[in-house]
Amino acid sequence: MAEGPYKLPKGWKWVRLGEVVVECIGGTWGTGDDPDGVGVLRPNNIGENGEIVWKDIRWRAVPVSQLQKRRLRNGDIILTKSNSLEQVGRAALFRHPNDGRIYVPSNFLQLLRPDPSVVWPEYLHYMLRTRQYVAFAQRMAIGSSASLKNLSARALKEFMFPLPPLSEQRRIVARIKELMERVREAKRLREEARKDADRLMQAALAEVFPRPGDSLPPAGAG
């Protein structure tokens, strides 16, 4: 158990990432393009909000030996280990699209497989979206090129975060989802209000400005 920066509630503990995953391995690029092959997810398939972007998938021939540990399962986490400083470390929680295909992370990604006996995958995913984690990933990324930084598995395993009991993890995840749904609803209402305002503006402009061919209103009219 790690010694953290501040005291945690009873039953909680500080842990390092390497203590709560059963796999922390790099991906693969396979041996060639194959429309009937394995879907290889790349950094561009990890969205800004931690979701999988299911487009522009590369279909590749991947040897069975490379699928044994890298075949993605529900609850796995993939994160960008090689990219620009702003992108490195970005993580997504894998949920299979139920399309009958096999998916693996590319060699620019890292696969994390949480140990379900100690950490809820969604809780770990949220920990990998905190400001503390983003700062850690950018601090630990190395590379002489500004456009390509690398985050090693060894460094990644050292990320430290608070871990409550599993029941509390689930409660926290449920609360985060509730709050995020409120945010999405607020954004939706704001977008509807913006569209309504645009429609009202167009209607007002249509009343003020003449139709093509009509004369302008006299000066001082209205």
The per-residue pLDDT for range 28-46, each reduced to its tens digit, is: 999 999 999 999 999 999 9
| Cα atoms in the 13 Å half-sphere on the side-chain side of 67 | 13
Are 38 and 115 contained in the same domain? Answer: yes
Confidence (pLDDT) at 208:
61
Residue 214's pLDDT is 60
Quick one: pLDDT at residue 79? Answer: 97
Same-domain status, 51 and 156: yes
Kindly tell me if the per-residue pLDDT of 167 is higher than 60: yes
The average pLDDT across 46-56 equals 94
pLDDT in tens, 178-213: 888 888 788 888 888 888 877 776 776 666 666 665
Is the domain of 39 the same as that of 134? yes
- Number of folded domains in the chain? 2
Whole-number pLDDT of residue 211: 62
Q: Range of 189's domain?
A: 165-208
What local confidence, expressed as pLDDT, does residue 204 receive? 66
